[in-house]
Structure formats: C-alpha cells, structure tokens
Amino acid sequence: MKSTTARTLVLAAALGACGVAQADTIFDTGTPEPGFLGYYGFDVFVDQSVAIAFTPDQDYTLDSVGVWMMSNDFDNPGAPYTLSVRTDAAGGMTIPGDTVIESWDVQTAAVGWTPILETVNSVLNPVLTAGTTYWIVAESDSPAFVDAVWVASSQDEPVWHSVQNAFNPDGAWISGYTQGAPGLIVSGTVVPAPGALAALGMAGIVGTRRRRR
C-alpha cells in the first residue's frame, strides 16, 4: 500500500513539474510609438476588418492575446469588436481562413486616441503548433467615426485588411506592409516534449525505490 501511494505521489509531482510553467511570449510586435501627428492605427468597423499573422517556433498552448486599442469615440468607452484566432486559408502565410479556433467579444476601454493594451484570456487553451501560421483577426459591425482603432506598433509587418468599398465590393482580404503592424502580444505555455513527463515519472519512481532500500 505504501509503495503504491509513493508511486502515485511521485507521478503527481512529475505532472506538476511539467504542468506548472510561466507563460512565454509567442509573438510581440512591440509597444506603440506615436508618429509626427501622434498615435495612428487601423479602423475596425463595418467596412474593414484587420488581421496579422504569426508562426510559433515551438508548440504552445494559448494563454492570452493582447491588442493595443484606441477609439474614434472621444466621448465614451465601449466601442465593440470581435477578436479571433484563426487558421490560415491555405496552410502558409496567405490570408486568414474561415476556421475560428477561439474568439472573444470585446468593448474597448479606450476613449479617444490614447492606446490601451486590452488582454483576453484563453478559455479553450488550444495548442498552437510549431511552424503553423495563425491569424489574429479584429472585426466589428460599428459604423465609422465611433469605431475601435487597432493601434500601430513599432514593428513593420505585413498587415491584411478586409476592406469593403467600391474597388473591393466583396470585401476580399488584401495585404501590404505598413509603417507599423497592429500592436499585438500573444502569450502561451510551452508544450512539454514527448516523453518528458514519462522520464520525470520514471526518475521519481527510481528515486523512491532507492530510498526504500
């Protein structure tokens, strides 16, 4: 009975050693920096969605997504938008796909053009696989001039816009580099390598047996 209890405690400790990990930064475009006329960004409203891609360098479980936001409403907070994590449409860095991994409905706390980092925590904690491209997409049904604005950061990255206008009536995704990518921080926890948990468990069992002898 004591031997079984000891093995159970060792395995629990091994699970804890693998499972308790501090969140790492998977992707960070940097803190927003004001331009000559102040902060600027990308309107998120009924006629324009905004997206940016990232590719993890190792396997992570998603912990949180932080976006730098401000608002075109200078009187009230609460400009609504939906934030989502999506797969890529063609399995590379092409355009956002239709598969939504997780999404959040958000109301920005910002009033006017003062950037605020708004962080949403993952409930599903999906695994983001190394070498796979994912997209963070912001979209909204808000009208122009009172909409949320995804603030540009200090890092240049290709940004995808889904723009609905006379030149692009179907709202297709279009891309291009800007002087600052949307401010974004994606955080997650590294997934233990296969066999790491078993190795810790076996090491603990061997140690217990040696102590018994």
pLDDT band at 46 (very low <50, low <70, confident <90, very high): very high
Segment 133-160 shows an average pLDDT of 92
Return d(Cα 188, Cα 48) in angstroms, integer.
28
Q: Does the global pTM surpass 0.85?
A: no
**3-state SS record for 89-132:** CCCCCCCEEEEEEEEEEEECCCCCCCCEEEEEECCCCCEECCCC
pLDDT at position 210 is 53
pLDDT band at 133 (very low <50, low <70, confident <90, very high): very high
pLDDT at position 97 is 94
Query: Over pLDDT 70: what percentage of the chain?
Result: 80
pLDDT at residue 39 is higher than 80: yes
CA angle, 175 as apex, 174 and 176 as ends, to 5°?
A: 140
pLDDT at residue 137 is higher than 70: yes
Segment 131-137 shows an average pLDDT of 96
pLDDT band at 132 (very low <50, low <70, confident <90, very high): very high
Segment 76-98 shows an average pLDDT of 94
pLDDT band at 212 (very low <50, low <70, confident <90, very high): low
pLDDT at position 6 is 40
Segment 177-190 shows an average pLDDT of 90
Higher per-residue confidence, 5 vs 141? 141
User: Which SS3 state, helix, strand or coil, does residue 77 take?
Assistant: coil
pLDDT at position 209 is 54
